[in-house]
């Protein structure tokens, strides 16, 4: 069957926007979905990439920033000079200050072109502008492909959230690793799923307001987090750290509930106490109830940065199509300056 995708104008949006629909096949069923909404001003010769496009109804809109030409060149060009770097860094530092530290803890850069190789270059460059890339496992992976590898984190062993398609389990990255936690993590969206795959982000300051002093005090005491089998030979299967802690003088959180439960399940590790269980339940209830959560779905070509000390995040479950699989590229950043500065 031959399908023609056409760009059309829709009266629901301003005349200066166009919508591209995507054809979805499920067995014998066929439907059209809104895929991208394009500002018509960027049409023409240099056809717009998905990255130049914002979804009109998405909670990420307030934190979407179109990069300047200078920053875009720095993140994408083959050759860059130290002058380019200085200018790019100044722009990114300012964006980070506004959105990561004074704002919601999330920043979505738009205006880059999609593609895996371009995405890899962009996340590495953005990471090195902010600080240093941190290895994400004992093999030293610096750019991690986040995609459905057919696994679930309820499985024992090395499976991580980034290997699965399941939703929920709001967490911080590096919950399985000893402190210091990655200060920031980045995600570049190479391919997005049609169904699911939206992110929900909850800021620790909004959670702390919902929690009692007793719960906060319990969360500041040590828990055993499962290491997901990433420990060096001979080391124990857990890392011990509090859920709420301080890093770079900032109130910080490290969390993934099932890693804590699996951590306390290892032989020789004490069971979670009633008090600890109550505190984790209260934290989960606060995460579910948090009215200030930011919910959005990355478009292909968008590069998102998250304040990983402050923000819990989790996605909605997604399902890959046989010929179109969701792929994000992720880095972890250790900031070389105190993050609060």
Ligand X SMILES: O=C(O)CCC(=O)C(=O)O
CB of 341 to ligand X, least distance (A): 26
Contact of residue 183 among ligand X, Fe ion, none (CB under 5-8 Å per partner type)? none
Contact 333, 131 (CB under 8 A): yes
User: Least distance from C-beta 109 to Fe ion, angstroms?
Assistant: 18
Residue 58 Cβ vs Fe ion, minimum distance, rounded to whole Å: 19
Of the pair 115, 174, the CB lying nearest ligand X is at 174
Q: Tell me which of 177, 211, 260, 328 binds ligand X, using CB under 6 A.
A: 328
Strands (DSSP E) found in the chain: 7-8, 17-26, 29-39, 64-66, 106-110, 131-134, 144-146, 184-191, 199-203, 222-226, 238-242, 244-247, 250-253, 294-296, 303-307, 311-315, 327-335
By CB under 6 A, the count of residues binding ligand X is 10
R_g (Cα) of the chain, nearest Å: 21
DSSP 113-133: ---HHHHHHHHHHHHHHHEEE
The answer to whether 327 contacts ligand X (rule: CB under 6 A) is no
Query: What is the C-alpha separation between 318 and 197, in angstroms, rounded?
Result: 5
Query: What is residue 105's three-state secondary structure?
Result: coil
Nearer to Fe ion, 68 or 152 (CB): 152
Beta partners for residue 254, in sequence order:
none
Residue numbers 20-59 binding ligand X by CB under 6 A: none
Site string for Fe ion, 169-198 (x = CB under 5 A): ----x-------------------------
Residue 187, burial from CB neighbour count under 10 angstroms (0-12, 13-18, 19+): buried
Cβ proximity to ligand X: between 279 and 320 the closer is 320
Partners of 25 in the β-ladder: 30
CB 146 within 8 A of CB 155: no
| Residue ranges in 136-195 that form contacts with ligand X under rule CB under 6 A | 146, 161-162, 173
Which one of residues 53, 67, 153, 199 is an interface residue with ligand X (CB under 6 A)?
199
Give me the residue whose beta carbon is nearest to ligand X.
162
Contact letters (x/-) for Fe ion, 154-173, by CB under 5 A?
Answer: -------------------x
| Minimum distance from residue 298 beta carbon to ligand X (Å) | 7
Q: Which is nearer to Fe ion, 35 or 255 (CB)?
A: 255
Q: Which is nearer to ligand X, 61 or 221 (CB)?
A: 61
Is the Cβ–Cβ distance between 124 and 324 less than 8 Å? Answer: no
Q: Distance between the two ends of the chain, CA-based, in angstroms?
A: 57
Footprint of ligand X (CB under 6 A)? 146, 161-162, 173, 197, 199, 313, 315, 328, 330
Residues within the interface to Fe ion (CB under 5 A): 173
């Amino acid at each position: 069957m031959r399908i023609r995708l056409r760009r059309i104008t829709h009266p629901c949006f301003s005349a200066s926007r166009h919508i591209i629909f995507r054809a979805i096949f499920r067995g014998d069923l066929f439907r059209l979905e809104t895929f991208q909404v394009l500002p018509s001003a960027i049409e023409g010769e240099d056809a717009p990439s998905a990255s130049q496009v914002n979804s009109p109804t998405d909670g990420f809109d307030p934190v979407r920033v179109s990069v300047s030409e200078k920053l875009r060149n720095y993140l994408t060009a083959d050759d860059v000079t130290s002058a380019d770097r200085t200018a790019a860094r100044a722009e990114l530092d300012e964006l980070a200050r506004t959105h990561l530290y004074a704002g919601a803890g999330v920043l979505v850069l738009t205006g880059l072109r999609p593609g895996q190789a371009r995405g890899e270059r962009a996340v590495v460059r953005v990471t090195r502008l902010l600080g240093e890339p941190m290895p994400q496992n004992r093999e030293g992976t610096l750019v991690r492909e986040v995609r459905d590898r057919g696994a679930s984190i309820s499985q024992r062993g090395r499976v991580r959230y980034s290997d699965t398609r399941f939703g929920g389990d709001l967490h911080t990255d590096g919950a399985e690793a000893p402190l210091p936690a990655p200060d920031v993590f980045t995600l570049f969206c190479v391919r997005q799923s049609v169904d699911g795959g939206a992110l929900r982000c909850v800021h620790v300051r909004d959670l702390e307001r919902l929690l009692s002093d007793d719960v906060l005090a319990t969360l500041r005491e040590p828990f055993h987090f499962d290491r997901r089998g990433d420990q060096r030979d001979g080391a124990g299967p857990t890392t011990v750290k509090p859920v709420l802690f301080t890093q770079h003088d900032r109130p910080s959180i490290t969390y993934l509930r099932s890693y804590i439960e699996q951590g306390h399940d290892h032989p020789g590790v004490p069971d979670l106490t009633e008090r600890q269980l109550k505190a984790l339940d209260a934290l989960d209830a606060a995460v579910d109830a948090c009215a200030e959560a930011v919910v959005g779905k990355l478009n292909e070509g968008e590069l998102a940065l998250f304040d990983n000390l402050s923000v819990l995040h989790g996605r909605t479950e997604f399902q890959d199509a046989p010929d179109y699989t969701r792929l994000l590229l992720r880095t972890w950043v250790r900031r070389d300056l105190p993050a609060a500065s």
